[in-house]
A and B are shown apart, each in its own frame.
Chain A
């Protein structure tokens, strides 16, 4: 158990890799990417991924619906109101969507 392990940051590893890449011919090897070697709790990670993914999908869906609703509203509103909708309405909606997502994502992170 007294084996010595070389510890480098991913940046260093990438940089080292790049240096060797530059000297070798194209397409020379494929294999395990520079993933950190510290152990992780795979089950906790699994749960975190699932929760984050559900949240992300929900945000994407909400964004799609919001844009569709705006499109509809802008098209139905006639004349002056039409461009006013397009001028003022989208940005607060987008900001709220993003802010809510970030808050929830951070809450998931502090749970796990």
Chain B
């Protein structure tokens, strides 16, 4: 009951902050990117808040208990992606003046058709990413309050959709910044208390490899006992690192900062915030291995650990805190994802107004909830891993080549997107539907980024004929790299102090 109460408190606080930020959700630019008036510090917090999802809070610890310490590679990849974001995407993307990846594609290729294709890819990635978030909400609610899984999932969907549809991105930014702090406090605080309460014996057991088998302690990520741990680890790393760079909801966030410089710096701040956060799921995983070595549902390990270590009132309070933190993770990630999904549905695919955008939120939630119901048995990190793999094989090459190589044409981008999306989703589906003997092949299907990313890059490069590069492609690319008044975005006549403060104005 305490758990349910704390979750309700998180919810109430989120709604209050959301309503407080609602004031300005009037036009489409306001709704989507808060009219670019969001301060960089808030933005970094919001990006981290949105990014640290249920996969990080719950999935990571669960996977650690199930597969071994190699699960930490997921966290490394999730963070390493932001090095690439800072180096390759943040600055130029912000200068392009586009709101979303599809908008960028239109800026770069001048073709509305490719915008629609990108809109479709956004839908696939966002849905794959949303399903595990709703699953997490369902299992946590079921554990702390006994509410049946499906009611929890549907209820969570209603809550998220209504906050977003009312508030839009501005409220989402404040809500998500709040959620990052909340998650850090509610995950890190109990973790520290639990380390203390666990006592010397269990602490020793948690970090001592002698008592567990070598496979668990080996810092590699073996997927489904394939016997190819190094290959599996590398493939997960490729997917998470390159995927983070292509995630539409992350890229969208950079449009809400003041300028290209600020965008890059925000990416660096995000690395700091993520590093601070990712230490704690590991603590739950290591303790969980000792106190709940074989849980029935691996994705709820962090919620189970406090009760096992400290039975009674203290344990109940800690459980409630962790559950609230996990729920905050669900709320913030899913609202960011839904916003990107709604953006994709309404103005990239149908070209739209605010009511359509709101409809997009409703439709997106409905789809995600419907798909989350049968996904109850799939590990959170597996689903999230696919979302990253698809992003890595589609938007990663699109952005990397589109920003840095003038030779990429609309045809090349289209062919690459089709091949990348087709091969990565196809491989993931095959690995679910067909039972393949564990080995090299099963890894390359379950975690396909290792081959689908190079394939997509190659397809984009080979299908871009030099003769069909339009004459304005030169300028479109060059403007992405010029600072100050030369950049793609023209300074508006009236002074905008806060908006371009970080951009060099010469």
Residues of A within 8 A of B (CB): 7, 9-11, 14-15, 18-19, 21-23, 26-36, 38, 40-42, 44-46, 48-49, 52-53, 55-56, 59-60, 63, 67, 70-71, 74-75, 77, 79-80, 82-83, 85-87, 90-92, 94-95, 97-99, 101-102, 105-106, 109-110, 112
Q: From the candidates B29, B84, B107, B234, name the one contacting A33 in the complex (CB within 8 A).
A: B107
Q: Which residues of A contact B313 (CB under 8 A)?
A: none
With A27-B112, A40-B478 as known contacts, state yes or no: A14 contacts B486, CB within 8 Å. no
The answer to whether B219 and A35 have CB atoms under 8 Å apart is no
Distance to closest chain A CB from B435 (angstroms): 29
Give A74's nearest chain B residue, CB to CB: B219
Contact A95 B272 (CB under 8 A): yes
B111 part of interface (Cβ distance < 8 Å): yes
B82 at the interface (CB under 8 A from A): yes
Beyond A9-B490, A18-B347, A94-B271, whether A82 also contacts B218 by CB under 8 A is yes
**Given A75-B220, A90-B79, A94-B79, A80-B208 contact (CB < 8 Å):** yes
Closest to A56 in B: B87
Given the complex of chains A and B, what is the CA–CA distance between A32 and B278 in angstroms? Answer: 44
Complex Cα spacing A67 to B405, Å: 25
- Docked pose: A60 CA to B403 CA in angstroms: 15
Q: Does B141 contact A (CB under 8 A)?
A: no
Q: B270 to nearest A CB, angstroms?
A: 9
Q: Which of B132-140, B374-382, B468-476 has 4 or more CB atoms under 8 Å from chain A? A: B468-476
How many Å from the CB of B376 to the closest CB on chain A?
30
Which residues 440-489 of B sit at the A interface, judged by CB distance below 8 A?
470, 472, 474-479, 481-483, 485-486, 488-489
Chain B hits for A23, CB < 8 A: 351
> Which chain B residues in 478-506 approach chain A with CB under 8 Å?
478-479, 481-483, 485-486, 488-490, 492-493, 504
Cβ-defined partner of B209 (8 Å) among A9, A55, A80: A80
Please pick, from B112, B230, B261, B475, the residue contacting A40 in the complex, using a CB distance under 8 A: B475
Considering the chains assembled together, what is the distance between the CA atoms of A31 and B350 in angstroms?
20
Please name the residue on chain A nearest to B97 by beta carbon. A10
Residues 78 to 136 of chain B near chain A (Cβ within 8 Å) = 79-80, 82-84, 86-88, 91, 96-99, 103, 106-113, 116
Q: What are 30 inter-chain pairs, A to B, with CB distance below 8 A? A: A9-B492, A10-B96, A11-B29, A22-B352, A35-B475, A35-B476, A36-B490, A38-B485, A40-B478, A40-B482, A42-B475, A44-B482, A48-B483, A55-B87, A56-B87, A63-B80, A67-B241, A77-B219, A82-B217, A87-B279, A87-B282, A90-B79, A90-B80, A94-B275, A95-B271, A95-B272, A98-B87, A102-B268, A109-B261, A110-B483
A41-B97 Cα distance, complex, nearest whole Å? 19
- Interchain CB contact under 8 A, A30 and B86: no
Q: Given A14-B97, A105-B264, verify A49-B481 contact (CB < 8 Å).
A: yes
CA A77 to CA B209, docked complex, whole Å: 12
Contact B83 A10 (CB under 8 A): no
The chain B residue with its CB closest to the CB of A33 is: B110
Whole-angstrom distance between the Cβ of B468 and the nearest chain A Cβ: 12
Cβ-defined contact, A35 with B83, below 8 A:
no
Shortest Cβ distance from residue A26 to the other chain B in the assembled complex, whole angstroms: 7
Contact of B410 with A by CB under 8 A: yes
Which of A27, A67, A102, A106 is in CB contact (< 8 Å) with B80?
Answer: A67
Contacts of B274 in A (CB 8 A): 91
Q: Smallest CB–CB gap between B502 and chain A, Å?
A: 10
Q: Which of B83, B91, B96 counts the most A-chain CB atoms under 10 A from its CB? A: B83
For B85, the closest partner residue in chain A by CB is: A98
Known A22-B353, A63-B80; contact A33-B108, beta-carbon cutoff 8 A: yes
Q: Which residue of B lies closest to A99 (CB)?
A: B268
A80 neighbours in B (Cβ, 8 Å) = 207-209
In the assembled complex, B69 has its CB within 8 A of some CB on chain A = yes
Q: A82 to B207, alpha carbons, bound, how many Å?
A: 11
A80 to B238, CA, bound (A): 26
Report how far A26 CA is from B120 CA in the complex, Å: 14
Complex: chain B residue closest to A73, CB-CB: B219
Q: List CB contacts (< 8 Å) of B238-287 with chain A.
A: 241, 261, 264-265, 267-268, 271-272, 274-275, 278-279, 282
Q: Which 5 A-B pairs have the closest CB atoms?
A: A22-B351, A10-B97, A91-B275, A33-B110, A45-B478
Min CB distance, A92 to chain B, in Å?
8
Nearest-neighbor residue (CB-CB) of B275 within chain A:
A91
B162 at the interface (CB under 8 A from A): no
Q: How far is the CB of B312 from chain A (nearest CB, A)?
A: 30
Q: Which of A32, A41, A46, A95 has the most CB of B within 10 A?
A: A95
Q: When the two chains form their complex, are residues B103 and A14 in contact, meaning their CB atoms are under 8 A apart?
A: yes
Please state if A85 and B482 are interface contacts (CB–CB under 8 Å).
Answer: no
Task: Give Cα distance in the complex from A99 to B207, angstroms.
Answer: 32
Bound-state Cα–Cα, A21 to B234, Å: 43
CB distance from B385 to the nearest CB of A (A): 17
In whole angstroms, what is the CA distance A77 to B486 when docked? 51
Question: Could you tell me if B106 and A33 are in contact, using CB atoms closer than 8 angstroms?
Answer: yes
Check B28–A105 contact: CB distance below 8 A: no
| Closest beta carbon of chain A to B429's beta carbon, Å | 28
Partner of B230, one of A22, A42, A44, A71: A71
**What's the Cα separation between A60 and B404 when bound, in Å?**
13
In angstroms, Cα B215 to Cα A82, docked, is: 12
A83 touches B488 (CB 8 A): no
Task: Determine if B72 is an interface residue (Cβ-Cβ < 8 Å).
Answer: yes
A contact residues around B352 at 8 Å (CB):
18, 22
